[in-house]
Amino acid sequence: MSEKLTHLDHQGHAHMVDVSEKEITKRTATAQAILNMKASTLVKVIEGGLPKGDVLATARIAGIQAAKKTSDLIPLCHPLMLTKVTVDITVLNECELEVLCTCSLAGKTGVEMEALTGASVAALTLYDMCKAVDKGIVINNVSLLEKKGGKSGDWSKGND
């Protein structure tokens, strides 16, 4: 079975997918972004020693706001009524933070793009708030970790 790109019509032109006939189901997606920074920068993030204020709270709020605004940023995404967005930021080691964004709704289309956008913007916000002390921060591994629900069913990274 050949996979079809749903955002292309029969002539190859980009279009917004018609989801009007799809069933409403519970859908959830989680995406990640990893930030690598100097150990001294991460200490400042954790201890709140950066000039722009509470870096982690600001990044969480930015990620939530970005997930809600995904259709304003990605041209063919449907505007969605998200019912839940969480952004969790975890220290992985002395130089790395992990951002996880999970989005949920009961709807006709998935929330993968919202989760990816939320994780990305939270990571970019962390960069913005830390760049005064560490311009060399690298954002890596922006990726979908899992999605649940919808016609195509559940999927998780590493199991495809």
| Residue 18: count of CB within 10 angstroms of its CB | 9
Catalytically annotated residue among 9, 54, 88, 128: 128
End-to-end CA distance of the chain: 16
From 56, 81, 85, select the one nearest 71 (Cα to Cα).
Answer: 81
Residue at token pair 């041209």:
75
Catalytic: 128?
yes
Sequence-distant (≥ 6) Cβ neighbours of residue 145 within 8 angstroms: 30, 31, 32, 100, 156, 157
Catalytic residues, which ones? Answer: 128
